[in-house]
Amino acid sequence: MKADLDRLMQKRQLSAIVVAGDESYSDVRDYMSNGAHITGGFIVKKAGDDVRLYVNGMEIEEANKSGYACKTYGDVGYFDLIQEYPMEEATVRLWGNILADAGVHEGRVGIYGVGAINVYLELVERLKSTFPQYDFLGESGNPTLFQEAYLTKDPQEIDRIRTVAEKTNEVAALAWSFIASQRIQEGTLVNSEGEAVTIGTVKRLIRRELMERGLEDTGMIFAQGRDGGFPHSRGEDNEALKEGQAIVFDLFPREMGGGYHHDMTRTWCIGYAPPQVQRAYDDVMEAFNIALETYALGKPTYALQEAVLDSFEAKGHPTARSTSNPTEGYVHSLGHGVGLNIHEAPSMHHLRRDDVFQVGNFITIEPGLYYPQQGFGVRVEDSFIISESGELVSITPFKKDLVITLEG
Amino acid sequence: MKADLDRLMQKRQLSAIVVAGDESYSDVRDYMSNGAHITGGFIVKKAGDDVRLYVNGMEIEEANKSGYACKTYGDVGYFDLIQEYPMEEATVRLWGNILADAGVHEGRVGIYGVGAINVYLELVERLKSTFPQYDFLGESGNPTLFQEAYLTKDPQEIDRIRTVAEKTNEVAALAWSFIASQRIQEGTLVNSEGEAVTIGTVKRLIRRELMERGLEDTGMIFAQGRDGGFPHSRGEDNEALKEGQAIVFDLFPREMGGGYHHDMTRTWCIGYAPPQVQRAYDDVMEAFNIALETYALGKPTYALQEAVLDSFEAKGHPTARSTSNPTEGYVHSLGHGVGLNIHEAPSMHHLRRDDVFQVGNFITIEPGLYYPQQGFGVRVEDSFIISESGELVSITPFKKDLVITLEG
């Protein structure tokens, strides 16, 4: 969590960190600016010192919402630099002025943030040759400083996460009710006017309801039949919903404009479930419950994945452990951390053995089975927080029923 | 445009380009994959050859929508690599396998895309030491290969842009009508129940209407009074709309999930405009028309900015040319290119002298005046395409009236 930043910097012997980037949404910028909606700028933290923001003059009001000390580029001499140097050189010199202003005069400077890779690869070469007193460096991880910080969430973050979870569960329930209130005509779901209800119709309803609650969709999956057999196929908008087809519905919105996510998946069959889908669903639910039973605070995260792999393999499903490059069976890992990114540490892959369950973890558990050639996939996913007392607490209370029985 | 890629690669003596990145939305990935919604992977183009995609097996169906040859990581030996090497080393080796598979065996390899800066700074160091047969490089621009490609849009892009423009104009008109249908009570805009209409109410309406049309807001500005005096202040959701205050409304949505933008700004006063706002608006509209009159195909883009600077300075407004670091008057440049990014080349800054107007440019013209201490800002912005015949064609037909007269 944020309180760990100085410790995490010390571990990496960093004199300072600089969060740079461009107009892309940046989790690190969001985290370090306390959610201020700046679209550029530099966030500097000298070891042992408070965070400081340096922004384009146009963004100073927004930057001030961070609660940290903020200056404009103009305040640190940018307008003199662009008179004196060509634009690219002025940018390099601006970095120097900002570091000096933040009291960073030498040492290892970690560069973080999200941006155009090509730009930073070249810019950092220029920084290195212009300012030899600093050692500029990146970090590819496992884990990076911010991945480590994100591993646990502080109470302010948990509050925001719980709010997102509550709203997401409401929207999932509305999607269920909407489908349940339609009727079947010749195997197709139709509305009261007899028009086919499409995946696009349902997705639009969901996005509207998310938006009303201050959330935004980040690419939900609503994939029917064979499409649901590919874990990341998102479903086709113009496809009509059909009776007796497995629908994989994976909803992982975040706070509007960027922020914390909630991640949940349900598998639904309208009207009835074919026997092979029901069996896969039962195996997935058994795996889900095995994962919960295997959990203990301080245990390695891969232990849950291994317990689930054992269960699926015992039932004859191919897995990512039994087969290289599987396209059928249990093809992914059990879950992942969530936060400002939809995928964060801890990992729950059987080959990643670094993480143990800690208080403040925010994770998913999402076993699934995929049989595209048989025309279906099944996945069930809740999000969990590890509470102060070390319990794995679901924040996804919405029911896990497979079959949506129509009301009509 | 895309047809220029080989020429642009040759100019940079590149043997290949690799578009990498992570789950962040990436304009370059979107561009090179023809809009396929992959959330990772590698897009490789060898000089003179077709584009190829390499993705996680879970994304192969989505990748295939690009219309290019697609392979999974498994197809190029990733599962052997992760058995043989630690995860980070396996990632480096995967790059080697992909380049070899694409027939790239040596030479300059340009790395592009959007991702965590820290990750790529370190990864590229590893690539350089593992594969000395390649010269891996970034490019910080002015312009980069993709900035140059984006300078002009091809007919397929223009079609998509026109559709986004049409829908955005519709939504701006709905926002106007919504406000016009309310009434004033003691200086505050209220609805039929007498409840104050807030900025949040209007923004929610706009986001809903965008969404119904398959567009997403990317951070619209709806800033009233003093807030509108800071060009990038977005406005406060809980603030009630007031009579006689200037509202700067800057709407720049894009296709849902990432895609082409349209960018427009209107300044509105509900009921009446105070004289100082009306004067600023008149000066802005005069500058707007001067920009249009100054335009000619092949002319340097800065010529329009200079004409507008001349006009504003003649009327006594401080500008970014007359004052360093201005916070009042005309504080930004006249416009910018638009596309998959809200800010692209060409620049229209008076200090950027590289660009001339070309067929296929998609740009904004947006003069503005900012007087936060007097409690207002004014900006008017249309988007334009330069047509095959070299004309500057507005794609923002919505009226530019300053005063919203209430219907009631």
Burial of A332 by CB count in 10 Å (0-12 exposed, 13-18 middle, 19+ buried)? buried
| 3-class secondary structure per residue, chain B | CHHHHHHHHHHCCCCEEEEEECCCCCHHHHHHCCCCCCCCCEEEEECCCCEEEEECHHHHHHHHCCCCEEEECHHHCHHHHHHHCCHHHHHHHHHHHHHHHCCCCCEEEEEEEEEEHHHHHHHHHHHHHHCCCEEEECCCCCCCHHHHHHCCCCHHHHHHHHHHHHHHHHHHHHHHHHHHCCEEECCEEECCCCCECEHHHHHHHHHHHHHHCCEECCCCEEEEHHHHHCCCCCCCCCCECEECCEEEEEECCEECCCCCECCEEEEEEECCCCHHHHHHHHHHHHHHHHHHHHCCCCCECHHHHHHHHHHHHHCCCCECCCCCCCCCEECCCCCEECCCCCCEEEECCCCCCCCECCCCCEEEECCEEEEHHHCEEEECEEEEEECCCCCEEECCCCCCCCEECCCC
Contact of A85 with A101, CB cutoff 8 Å: no
Please, which pLDDT band fits residue A136 given cuts at 50, 70 and 90? Answer: very high
The pLDDT score that the predictor gives to residue A294 is: 98
The pLDDT score that the predictor gives to residue A57 is: 87
Task: Kindly report the average pLDDT of chain B as a whole number.
Answer: 95
Q: State the ipTM, two decimals.
A: 0.84
B 37-96 near A (Cβ less than 8 A): 37, 39, 56-62, 72, 74, 78-80, 82-83, 87-88
Please, which pLDDT band fits residue B327 given cuts at 50, 70 and 90? Answer: confident
- CA atoms of B319 and B335, how far apart (whole Å): 15
Is the pLDDT confidence value at A325 over 80? no
- Give B111-155 pLDDT, tens digit per residue: 999 999 999 999 999 999 999 999 999 998 778 999 999 999 999
The pLDDT score that the predictor gives to residue B334 is: 97
Averaged over B181-187, what is the pLDDT?
96
State whether A140 and B117 contact (CB < 8 Å). no
The pLDDT score that the predictor gives to residue A121 is: 96
The pLDDT score that the predictor gives to residue B110 is: 98
Residue of A nearest to B209 (CA): A208
The pLDDT score that the predictor gives to residue B226 is: 95
Chain B CB within 8 Å of residue A130 CB: no
B382 beta partners: B365
The pLDDT score that the predictor gives to residue A24 is: 84
Averaged over B193-206, what is the pLDDT?
96
Is the pLDDT confidence value at A326 over 90? no
Residue of B nearest to A326 (CA): B57
User: Of A270, A268, A348, which is closest to residue A308 (Cα–Cα)?
Assistant: A348
Is the pLDDT confidence value at A333 over 90? yes
CB atoms within 10 A of CB B83: 10
Residue of B nearest to A212 (CA): B204
Burial of B407 by CB count in 10 Å (0-12 exposed, 13-18 middle, 19+ buried)? exposed
The pLDDT score that the predictor gives to residue B370 is: 97
Phi, then psi, of B346 in degrees rounded to 5: -80, 155
Residues of chain A in contact with residue B24, where contact means CB-CB under 8 angstroms, are 24-26, 114
- CA atoms of B167 and A172, how far apart (whole Å): 28
Please, which pLDDT band fits residue B408 given cuts at 50, 70 and 90? Answer: confident
- CA atoms of B248 and B380, how far apart (whole Å): 8
**A241 in helix, strand or coil?**
coil
The pLDDT score that the predictor gives to residue B35 is: 86
CB atoms within 10 A of CB A329: 20
Please, which pLDDT band fits residue B257 given cuts at 50, 70 and 90? Answer: confident
Q: Is there a cis peptide before residue A143, judged by omega within 30 degrees of 0?
A: yes
Residue of B nearest to A226 (CA): B61
C-alpha radius of gyration, chain B, whole number: 24
Averaged over B242-271, what is the pLDDT?
97
Please tell me which of the candidates A117, A212, A227 has its beta carbon nearest to residue B114: A117
* Tokens 């028009």 -> residue: A195
**A31 in helix, strand or coil?**
helix
Averaged over A10-19, what is the pLDDT?
98
Chain B CB within 8 Å of residue A252 CB: no
Chain B CB within 8 Å of residue A332 CB: yes
The pLDDT score that the predictor gives to residue B25 is: 87
B 347-366 near A (Cβ less than 8 A): 351-352
Q: Give the whole-number percent of chain B exceeding pLDDT 70.
A: 100
Residues of chain A in contact with residue B83, where contact means CB-CB under 8 angstroms, are 324
Is the pLDDT confidence value at A109 over 90? yes
Domains assigned to chain B: 2-148 (3.40.350.10), 151-404 (3.90.230.10)
- CA atoms of B407 and A192, how far apart (whole Å): 36
Contacts of B125 (CB under 8 A, 6+ apart): A138
- CA atoms of B223 and B312, how far apart (whole Å): 23
Is the pLDDT confidence value at A408 over 80? no
The pLDDT score that the predictor gives to residue B296 is: 98
Residues of chain B in contact with residue A206, where contact means CB-CB under 8 angstroms, are none
- Give B310-319 pLDDT, tens digit per residue: 999 999 999 9
Residues of chain A in contact with residue B232, where contact means CB-CB under 8 angstroms, are 39, 56, 58-59, 61-62
A 163-222 near B (Cβ less than 8 A): 204, 207-208, 211-212, 216, 219
Provide the token pair at A394. 């679901």
Is the pLDDT confidence value at B87 over 90? no
